[in-house]
Amino acid sequence: MGILIRQGDVVTATDRYTGDIYVENGHVAALGRDLSAFRRAGDEVVEAGELLVFPGGIDAHTHMELPFMGTVSTDDFRDGTVAAALGGTTGIIDFAIPAKGDGLLDTLARWHEKANGRAVVDYAFHMAVVDWNERIRDEIPLVAERGVTSFKTFTAYKGVLGIDDGQLFSILRRVREAGGLVTVHAVNGDVLSVLAEEFVREGTTGPEYHYQTQPNCMEAEATHRSFALAGLARQGVYIVHMTCGESLDELRQARRAGLTAYGETCVQYALLDESLYHKPDFEGAKYVLSPPLRSRKDTEEVWRALADGTLSTVATDHCPFNFQGQKDRGRPPLADFRRIPNGLPGVEERMSLLYTYGVAAGRISLNRFVQLTSTNVARIFGLHPRKGTIAVGSDADLVLYDPRWEGTYSARRQASRCDTNVYEGWRQQGRVVHTIQRGRFLVRDGRFVGEEGGGRFIERPRFDPLQAQ
């Protein structure tokens, strides 16, 4: 059975037109001004009316069911991807993260077990490399052969997940040989640990000191260092969750110097700021994540970089923890911001937040919105043209969005299994009416109708900088 979407306001990374889309066997089969002639008995017809139709969102940065800082993020692959689908996201790239000493292939198998039969949207993985030794060296190409062609490194989280410069350089070279792309969580983990230790020793233990341990200059310094090492290794690099003017300037400079360099930000860095760490009753803990929220001026720098093309993608770093029983572990009597699990939710809100505060607010165009939420992610991570666009032959991953709807965000109404919505009470402009993946409805009239385990693992090819441009 096919689907005929009639007279949609179709938006891609480059175009906008009113027209029909005919979907057959999970793919976009035809695009045109009027495709009534394609309609067959049994086909579903969706009158798009004034709905926008854009490619399903792809969130390049999620952490479903992540064991982290002595606890586990609240959304598993089912709940987290139901939230994604309701928010218009049809693909996620989650991070398979080993503990130090674990093998990469074992870790990858564990992530497949968590996602297979549970995820409701399509998914891929990045492989984190948190050690450097013979075994890891040998396993990197084997991971790439299994369709996982991006590798994550942390210069943060010293002693837990963090690696040093020599290790990062070796990983960059090895991943290049294996045909992959390296992504970096770039901050100076050494300095951060010293500052954190000092604050706690002096009894300054509240959530606001988490922010003070991670100054902008230490994100910029590690970003600069990552580019320098990548240049020497003749390798491209993708910096995850960029937050401030100083590191965005490093990205601009690296690009000007001809490096294959990409920057990701997350919606929270465009919308939320460090004043939230001062909320009473320890509520500032809800906003503890790494890197931390920055100043209002930095949120403006992030918007500027989204509009001018410096940043390539907007992700979420979706890593929710409950306030009760997880975030509140850093409260007195054991008062210590280092005990607050780092991370917050966003996969459900990403698309509508960027629409409301980006497109509707006149900060970015609709085409740029599609680039940042879908097309650029697909291009950089080898999913394009199967995903990230609306083209004949591409997967029919489509979102029909009502831009006139108005409402607010609330934890009470969300699908994510988290007791917090960091956008509680914020205005929402527009909402997802239908989400379609490979020609199947995941969301119909705003309700989830998909199937547990309906999401597929997407194997990705070697990284190709020419495709990623």
Per CB under 6 A, residues contacting ligand URP are 63, 185, 289-290, 317, 319, 342-343
User: d(Cα 29, Cα 142) in Å, to the nearest integer?
Assistant: 35
Which residues partner with 427 through β-bridges?
Answer: 408
CB of 421 to ligand URP, least distance (A): 17
Kindly state the smallest distance separating residue 326's Cβ from ligand URP, in Å.
Answer: 12
Instruction: Please list, in sequence order, all residues whose beta carbon lies within 8 angstroms of the beta carbon of residue 302, skipping any fewer than 6 positions away.
Output: 242, 243, 244, 248, 265, 269, 270, 311
Annotate 133-158 with b (16+ C-beta within 10 A) or e (fewer).
eeebeebbeebbebebbbbbbbbbbb
| Distance in angstroms (rounded) separating the CA atoms of residues 349 and 288 | 18
Residues 313-352 that bind Zn ion (CB under 5 A): 317
The interaxial angle of helices 165-178 and 216-232, nearest 10 deg, is 50
Strand segments, DSSP code E, in 163-240 are: 181-185, 237-239
- Give the shortest CB-60-to-ligand URP separation in angstroms: 12
Query: Which lies closer to Zn ion via its Cβ, residue 9 or residue 298?
Result: 298
**Between 245 and 291, CB nearer to ligand URP:** 291
Q: Any idea of the CA torsion for 267, 386, 179, 184, to the nearest 10 degrees?
A: 0
CA atoms within 13 A on the CB side of 221: 14
- Which residues, listed in sequence order, are joined to residue 443 by a DSSP beta bridge? 435, 448
Nearer to Zn ion, 91 or 430 (CB): 91
* CB nearer ligand URP, residue 10 or residue 60: 60
- Is 264 a binding residue for Zn ion by CB under 5 A? The answer is no
Contact yes or no for 365/413 (Cβ under 8 A): no
DSSP E strand stretches across 362-446: 398-408, 427-437, 440-444
In terms of Cα–Cα distance, which of 93, 32, 4 is closest to 313? 93
C-beta of 214 vs 376, nearer to Zn ion? 214
State which residue, 8 or 320, has the beta carbon closest to Zn ion: 320
Residues between 269 and 298 with contacts to Zn ion, criterion CB under 5 A: none
342 interacts with, out of ligand URP, Zn ion, none, CB within 5 to 8 A per kind: ligand URP
How many chain residues bind Zn ion (CB under 5 A)?
A: 2
Q: Give which of ligand URP, Zn ion, none residue 289 binds (C-beta under 5 to 8 Å, depending on kind).
A: ligand URP
Stretch near Zn ion under the rule CB under 5 A, chosen from 65-73, 179-187, 267-275, 368-376: 179-187
CB of 291 to Zn ion, least distance (A): 8
Q: How far is the CB of 68 from ligand URP (least distance, A)?
A: 6
Is 350 or 431 the residue whose CB approaches ligand URP more closely? 350
The least distance separating ligand URP from the CB of residue 311, rounded to whole angstroms, comes to 17
Positions in the binding site for Zn ion (CB under 5 A): 185, 317
